[in-house]
Amino acid sequence: DWINFTDFFNKIIDRFEMTKSGHVSFVRNIPNDALYVDIDTDKITQVLDNIISNALKYSPEGGKVTFTIDILPSELQIRVKDEGVGIPQESVNKIFDRFYRVDKARTRKLGGTGLGLAIAKEMVFAHGGDIWALSKEGQGTTVYFTLPYDPEQEDEWE
Ligand code: ATP
Ligand code: MG
């Protein structure tokens, strides 16, 4: 479906903002303009749910979660940044593998199966996008993904 990604992303963040506990704050760097993309909204909702629920799950008291959309020449780059526990350098590329979980002892008490990001990767790839993460232990994690975007498309909506 062709949808306005700006509205779509804001609504997903709103839903998390309404239900989150008070211990984290949200910051949005999201353009005001409509950004039309052709996506499977159920699947990209799941991608964002998985990324955002991780950001909340691994955030400390008082942590900030920042949501960003950058408009690149042929894609939208979406980022979710947290100030959580972070991920060791040698593991940061493995978090998209099925059932991979960093530090079993640490994550066991937080629950989960280790499938969230593997599913997210599959769905982003099915849209022709990419997904990756950058992290510093003790400082936080940023998860990035891209979706193909044609800026010309906006003109056709005028
Ligand atoms: P599930 O999502 O299936 O409930 P999960 O959250 O453990 O379980 P993934 O979402 O696939 O699984 O994440 C894989 C692992 O990557 C996590 O177990 C955690 O160790 C690490 N991870 C993911 N996101 C973050 C983050 N924002 N900060 C720190 N570690 C993270
Ligand atoms: Mg998860």
Q: Whose CA is nearest to atom 10 of ligand 1?
A: 116
Neighbours of 88 (CB within 10 A): 12
By most ligand atoms within 8 Å of CB, the mutation choice from 54, 64, 131, 145 for ligand 1 is 54
User: How sure is the predictor about 62, in pLDDT bands with cuts at 50, 70 and 90?
Assistant: confident
Task: Please state, in angstroms and rounded to a whole number, the distance separating the CA atoms of residues 115 and 142.
Answer: 18
Strand segments, DSSP code E, in 19-158 are 24-29, 36-38, 63-71, 75-81, 131-136, 140-148
Query: For residues 103-124, b (16+ Cβ closer than 10 Å) or e, as one string?
Result: eeeeeeeeeeeeebbbbbbebb
Instruction: Kindly tell me if the per-residue pLDDT of 107 is higher than 70.
Output: no
Backbone angles phi, psi at 62, to 5 degrees: 75, 5
CA distances from 49 to 46, 108, 113 (A): 5, 20, 15
pTM for the model stands at 0.94
Please report which ligand is nearest the Cα atom of 133.
Answer: 1
Q: What angle do CA 87, 91, 92 make, to 5 degrees?
A: 65
Instruction: Kindly tell me if the per-residue pLDDT of 121 is higher than 90.
Output: yes
CA of 156 to the centre of ligand 1 (A): 40
Contacts of 14 by beta carbon, 8 Å cutoff, 6+ apart: none
User: How sure is the predictor about 61, in pLDDT bands with cuts at 50, 70 and 90?
Assistant: confident
Interface TM-score (ipTM) > 0.95: yes
> How far is Cα of residue 125 from the mean position of the Cα atoms in its chain?
14
Sign, CA dihedral 110-139-27-36, equals negative
CA distances from 47 to 7, 111, 122, 158 (A): 16, 19, 9, 30
User: How sure is the predictor about 54, in pLDDT bands with cuts at 50, 70 and 90?
Assistant: very high
Instruction: Kindly tell me if the per-residue pLDDT of 23 is higher than 90.
Output: no
Pick from 82, 69, 91, 88: nearest CA to 9: 69
By most ligand atoms within 8 Å of CB, the mutation choice from 24, 52, 65, 95 for ligand 1 is 95
